[in-house]
Structure 1
Amino acid sequence: MKGAELLWSYVDVEPIAFNKGFYTVDVKYFYKITAEAYCGLSRPKEICGLATYDKRTVLFGSEGSVRIFSSQYMPKESDLQNFEKTNLPTGVVEVVDPVALGIKVTESCGCGDCGLNDIPDCICRCFEDDIVICDEGKKLFVTLGQFSIIKLERDIQLLMPAYDICMPEKDCSGSGGSDDPCDLFQKFKFPVDEFFPPKYSDYIKENGGNCQNGSCKTGKRC
């Protein structure tokens, strides 16, 4: 196998009955597979095919019963309100390029179900030739490694508090009459005591007397 390319991912979200707030997210991946086929001693021929993979997951997306209307402009359409819609969460899939792990050739099972029904037109246009959908001949089964993140997104309301502003009526920068903030800062006394812990003599001054052996003359404990 020469490579694998992820063409598109179809995402469908449906609520789960009797489980409020939970939804099933069905994802269908469409891959373009490129391989080489050998016929005897001739040079290999490049072949392309379509592979699909279905994945289902259950996620919590909360719930709501409101109806949403919007006047958003729609290109190439009349500038009318969009149709009414509910606040159903939106399924989002983030994927990286797939990793080709293996490939094998198998005989047709003859069951008549190849799993490639209802292929979208956008996928068919990615191939130069028409996609052959039948249950005859040989089939290629590929093994791919796919890293993806599946999540639910929805619009929510945020309550932002608003406060009135009050413009100052007079200058309160200082009484010196200077507008330079550096001149005002030079008048501040350096707070030496804030950088050093208090000494033993400072405790004596706070208690109003001399402290000896843990007791003060004023009768207070130090």
Structure 2
Amino acid sequence: MSKCSYTEKTKDECIIANKVYDQCRQQDCIEKLAYSALAPEEPINPPNNAAAVIIVPNTFGIGGIFLVNKSPNLLRRGYYDIELKFSFQYELQFRDGSGNPIGANVPARSLFNKKVSLFGSTGTDVNVYSDFGGFSNLQVAPFVLVEASSYPLEATLGYTIPITSGDNPPVPNSVNVTIGLFTIIKLFRLVNLVVPSTGFCKPKKCEEIAEDPCEYFNNLKFPFDIFDPPQKEDFFGNEDDDEDDEENTQEYLEEDLGNE
């Protein structure tokens, strides 16, 4: 581990940092039409004999996150309205009534717009310059940072008429996809902060890799965990503090009622 102190004394240091002024998290279950990745304005048109459709494993991902709008909220001072656009890319595979693939995989995409309002404080028209990098109007509005993780949940066929039994089954005319999206959105500014410091970090000596692969392997710790899979409580742990608080509250109430 790096030694981050030349002295035991602590002093205040002024640093330049990206300070987060506000942030929020959200999980969205999104149902969207699938559009052609080659012709973005055209919805996917399934084969007439398609009975099912799946999102091909390992082809799904976020193709891009774009800032559509960042503007001051007209009703709440210091708040900013943020609109983001998410582009999801994946491949579809159509299957017939026997479960056999129909043709080649089809590249597709879906779009999702998200709006949030976050506190970003107020700024002024100040130009900032550094030879590390030039910035213009740095203090006017905060910067946006987005972290996202998405998962394909389902793909289904859409029909021109409801599915009914008969000699002439309905023909599919669209593909609907369901996507799970976890998002964290932050507003931050470049500011000066005073922080306690014990000095500069002193890096440790680099560890050289042994040329002999057996020497490297024999020095590794024995991986007991791969032979003894973790139990449920070890695997999940305390994933959500809110859930822990609710459980503790429930236990407290039960004990309190039992003592009455």
Q: Given the two structures, how large is their TM-score scaled by the length of structure 2? A: 0.43
Q: Which one has the largest radius of gyration?
A: 1
**TM-score, normalised with respect to structure 1:** 0.49
Larger RCO (CA within 8 A; separation ≥ 6): 2
The structure in which a higher percent of residues are strand is 2
